[in-house]
Amino acid sequence: MFDVLPPFVIYLIGALILPFIKAGNLRSAYSLLIPLIGAWIIWNAPIGEHAQMAFFGFDLELMRVDKLSRIFGLVFSLAAFIGLIYAWHLRDWVQQTSALLYAGSAIGAVFVGDMISLFFFWEGTAIASVFLIWARGTEGAYHTGMRYLIIQIGSGVILIAGVAMHYHASGSIAFDKMTLPMSISSIGDIALWLIFLSFGIKCAFPLLHNWLQDAYPAATVTGTVFLSAFTTKLAVYALARTFPGTELLIYIGAIMTLFPIFYAVIENDLRRVLAYSLNNQLGFMVVGIGVGTELALNGTAAHAFAHILYKALLFMSVGAVLFRTGTAKGSELGGLYKTMPLTMIFCVIGAASISAFPLFSGFVAKSLILSAASHEHYYVVWGILLFASAGVFHHSGIKIPYFAFFAHDSGKRPKEAPMHMLIAMGLASFVCIYVGVFPKPLYDLLPYPVDYEAYTTTHVITQLQLLFASALAFTVLMRTKIYPPELKSVNLDFDVTYRKWLPSLIGYLAIVVSAIFHGVTGFINSSAVKIIKALHHSHGPDGSRAASWPTGAMVLNIALLLGFALLVIYVS
The tens digit of pLDDT for each residue in 486-521 reads 666 667 667 777 777 778 888 888 889 988 988 888
Residues 419, 473: one domain? yes
Q: For 51-71, how does the pLDDT look when each residue is reduced to its tens digit (9 = 90+)?
A: 888 888 888 999 999 999 999
Secondary structure of 53-93 in HEC code, one letter for each residue: EEECCEEEECCEECHHHHHHHHHHHHHHHHHHHHCCCCCCH
Distances (CA, A) of 97 to 150, 200, 218, 312, 529: 21, 28, 19, 19, 66
Query: Counting Cβ atoms within 10 Å, is residue 67 exposed (0-12), middle (13-18) or buried (19+)?
Result: middle
Per DSSP, the three-state class of 23 is coil
Residues 355, 403 within the same domain: yes
* CB of 316 closer than 8 Å to CB of 220: no
Last residue of a domain, one of 184, 218, 242: 242
Least Cα distance to 368 among 423, 431, 416, 296 occurs for: 296
Query: Do 346 and 250 belong together in one domain?
Result: yes
Q: Do 94 and 145 belong to one domain?
A: yes
Residue 316 clears pLDDT 70, i.e. is over it: yes
Q: 27 near 17, Cβ under 8 Å?
A: no
Task: Looking at the structure, tell me whether residues 443 and 361 fall in a common domain.
Answer: yes
Domain for residue 162, yes or no?
yes
560 plus 510 within the same structural domain: yes
Average pLDDT over residues 370-387: 92
Give how far Cα 445 sits from Cα of 43, 63, 75, 508, 551, Å.
11, 18, 11, 56, 105
Mean pLDDT value across residues 14-28: 93
Whether residues 69 and 125 share a domain: the answer is yes
Q: Can you give the three-state secondary structure of 477-490, one letter per residue?
A: HHHCCCCCCCCCCC
Residue 548 belongs to a domain: yes
Task: Specify whether 359 is located in the same domain as 220.
Answer: no
pLDDT computed for residue 89 by the predictor? 93
- Answer yes or no: do 107 and 163 share one domain: yes
Q: Which residues constitute the domain of residue 134?
A: 1-242
Check whether 1 has a pLDDT greater than 60. no
495 located within any domain: no
**In this structure, what is the dihedral angle of CA atoms 43, 46, 52, 58, given to the nearest 10 degrees?**
90
Same domain, 166 and 293: no
pLDDT for position 11: 95
Q: For residue 533, what pLDDT is reported?
A: 76
**What is the residue type of 221?**
V
Domain end position, chosen among 242, 271, 291: 242
- Would you say residue 545 has pLDDT above 60? no
Q: Are residues 182 and 287 in the same domain?
A: no
Amino acid at 123: E
| Domain-embedded: residue 402 | yes
Q: Is the pLDDT of residue 544 over 70?
A: no
Q: Transcribe 260-288 into DSSP letters.
A: HHHHHHH--BHHHHHHHHHHHHHHHHHHH
Classify residue 529: in a domain, yes or no. Answer: yes
Residues 100, 18 contacting (CB under 8 angstroms) = yes
Nearest to 442 by CA among 300, 290, 283, 277: 300
Q: Which of 490, 519, 538 is the last residue of a domain?
A: 490
Residue 169 has pLDDT above 60, yes or no: yes
The reported pTM is: 0.87
Number of domains comprising the chain: 3
How do beta strands 58-61 and 52-55 pair?
antiparallel
Q: Are residues 421 and 368 part of one domain?
A: yes
DSSP string, 508-567: HHHHHHHHHHHHHHHHHHHHHHHHHHHHHHHHSTTSHHHHHS-HHHHHHHHHHHHHHHHH
| 229 found inside a domain | yes
Q: Is residue 159 part of a domain?
A: yes
